[in-house]
Structure 1
């Protein structure tokens, strides 16, 4: 199969993916998480203040809200959910999201379409990198098969059009891993910088992406153990990628706390981490919130701490006739088997058998 024909088929698949995603958002409505994400993103870009939704990094919310800058929108700066004169309760973001979309004279249907379009472009970008990496590893036919399965995956079609962090984080992890392995293979200055930038952007998508740190460390270790490179080279690349990534995080968060009063940031940090099992961390972040150079990292690590605090406290969930905040060991395997198409499971089984016996 020629490269030209392969590119044509890949382009058609990505185009159909784009069309399916775009037409699915017409006459649609917001899901629960979208109003706070959209209001938060718009407030970040226009107010340079990250008092809303600190439990998620700002990058994807910024991207979603960017088209709104070209509209003449009313933002409820005098609403109690923005002023937060009492404490930054978690429901303020939902109250303000509803106020911004439905009670401030703005057009919610227009906002829905404009904020979801950037998310769809991220979905397309992920599809492109799936095709690109599969092609480099296994050739044209395998790359088209991978892209075909991705383009018609119900999971990605359903979530890739929403102003949430899941698919954006998946794209960040995938692209960062692609460039990190590329840097291990060919440790040029360009590849290391690209790996560092993609790692930093991935970390700015979702806090659970912090797992890339041990994941990359394991990849570097495996790379050395199978003698594809020296341990010094692998360690150097790993450290440089992490440094570049976190150097990128600082200016992004600096923009987002530019107009966020230090005393409010410290107050919000103290309140939000009130139930943290790590009081020393809370006190450190409160202290850092008042230091100009450290404030961006204080806000970043506040969000990360909120994720761990929430995970420690548990999330009340219904699953197979039970309600619990402790979780179930079989939750994710069961959900994975149910949500993914039967055809995908059959192909996965065939691939495993092929890899094991052929």
Structure 2
């Protein structure tokens, strides 16, 4: 177990050190600095504070201070903190990412414990191995973002409610705390609330058939969850000073929810995002709006084949085998409901919105070992090794991972875009490549990300700002920008020769 977690830690730390800031990270890091420095909730209100407070535990060691007179938006805030505060952005990003790495490793212990409860120690080891080698979990667990923490807290709440079947007095308060932590990290976890509360009823009812006691258990979990949300805001600002952002959409009924006003206004912002029309890219097709099947299709590309096979077999075993059937509502239903909720979203921007799937899938896979058939044990070992080898082959480029059926990470950009392949993470690697192989050549850059190219020594011009016949030399294009390219950029790349690639996310052309 420790060896698996150590291998995962090495993969995540190596990734965290090598990658420049992704698109979302500077906003969260900048907001964490404001939490520490000014105890203000004014930035990034669309997400609750807990995840950024966790980031702040690392940022606190960087000694970053923000000018109290700074008045920019949250994007400008992130850029100012990273590139204008006098602190090395690489060191700052590593400090911000380390708390998330530690948390991701702790969620690995939850996966092991949950699977061990369902299928014994061997099942726990299978689940932990699949979790530890999951490219998506490694990729997003090594970033200062909110997706893995939110998913991990949901998984933890479900595991605890599973344990509450035998000792409700011990575990139900912990269920409330874990569910509250999920809600205080990301609002998309609201979809988990009815599922977890229904599982509380399922866990408590056999031992206490009095409706009053069951309702009391559900109420206690709900109250604790709400209390955690309130506490996350009060930790930032005990006086809860709040000025609502302008232009909030009207959403009837929110005032009836027992959450702080900034949380409710954050929900309004999220509803506003969902009412916008976003662009997507799937299997080489650029489109406007969203596709209901986007996440299942993207997960098919991004999930190791060994995990896909084992989790599917484990799900069948949980439904078909009587002694495993009790675990099915706790493992399969939460993942299915959360995935269904995520599929209704307007933003087809990556499997990070469904990063809970490989977590629950790893637990489901453990059921194969519980079949106690020799062939099932052999199959489990073979498929775990297959998944591990697939993951190791993509090291250290986990964000653009694709499984072997889709040609591996070198081909991910043909099927997907944004945080599935190119989230701005390779700007530093690009700078190194240009210095090593193309020193002195003119550079034209279309970069999609939050990094500042000049900080890394990249002196580049914008090829979209001049006529095509003036673009001569190296044309460097982020693959996510190419996926959403207009006619001008497509004409430029179509009349250029690809000569190199960086991190499976940036293509270098010669013109």
TM band (smaller chain): 0.7 to 0.9
Over residues 79-124 of structure 1, what are the superposed CA-to-partner deviations in whole Å (9 max), with x where a residue is unaligned? 231xxxxxxxxxx111110011102212101101111111100110
Partner of residue 250 from structure 2, selected from 242, 267, 276: 276
1:332 maps to what in 2?
Answer: 295
Mapped to 2, the partners of 1:27 and 1:217 lie a distance apart of 41
Q: Report the equivalent of 2:163.
A: 182
Q: Aligned-pair distance for 1:184?
A: 4.1
One of 30, 37, 56 as aligned partner of 2:47: 56
1:197 aligned to 163, 174, 177, which one?
A: 177
Higher helix share: 1
Q: Deviations over 1:123-167 (max 9, x none)?
A: 101101101111122111000000000000111111110111110
Higher alpha-carbon deviation: 100-109 or 31-40: 100-109
Cα deviations across residues 149-205 of structure 1 (Å, max 9, x unaligned)? 0000111111110111110011110111122232343221x3222222122112111
Q: Which residue of 2 aligns with 1:20?
A: 11
Match of 2:69 among 49, 73, 78: 78
The 3-state SS of whatever aligns with 1:318 is strand
Consecutive unaligned residues in structure 1, runs of 5 or more: 1-9, 82-91, 289-293
Decide whether aligned partners of structure 1 residues 228 and 333 sit closer, same or farther in structure 2, where only a CA change above 3 A counts.
farther
Residue 259 of structure 1: how far off its partner (Å): 6.6
Identify the residue that residue 313 of structure 1 maps to in structure 2.
276
| TM-score of the two chains, using structure 1 as the length reference | 0.82
Structure-1 residue corresponding to 2:31: 40
Q: Deviations over 1:36-71 (max 9, x none)?
A: 000001211221101100111111111112222233
Q: Which runs of 5+ in 2 are unaligned?
A: 322-370, 372-511
Q: Relative to 1, partners in 2 of residues 1:224 and 1:253: Cα closer, same or farther, differing over 3 Å?
A: closer
Aligned partner (choices 111, 115, 121) of residue 140 of structure 1: 121
User: Is 1:212–2:176 an aligned residue pair?
Assistant: no
TM-score scaled by structure 2? 0.58
- Contact 1:216/1:238 (CA < 8 Å) preserved in 2? no
1:304 match: 267
C-alpha RMSD of matched pairs (Å):
2.4
Name which one, 1 or 2, has greater alpha-carbon Rg: 2
Shift of residue 330, structure 1, vs aligned partner: 1.4
CA distance in 1, matches of 2:313, 2:168: 35
Matched position secondary structure for 2:281: strand
Deviations along 1:249-277, whole A, 9 cap, x unmatched?
22321233447754xx14x2xx141x335
> Is 2:84 the partner of 1:103?
yes
Please give the alpha-carbon distance, in whole angstroms, between the structure 1 residues aligned to 2:233 and 2:29: 18
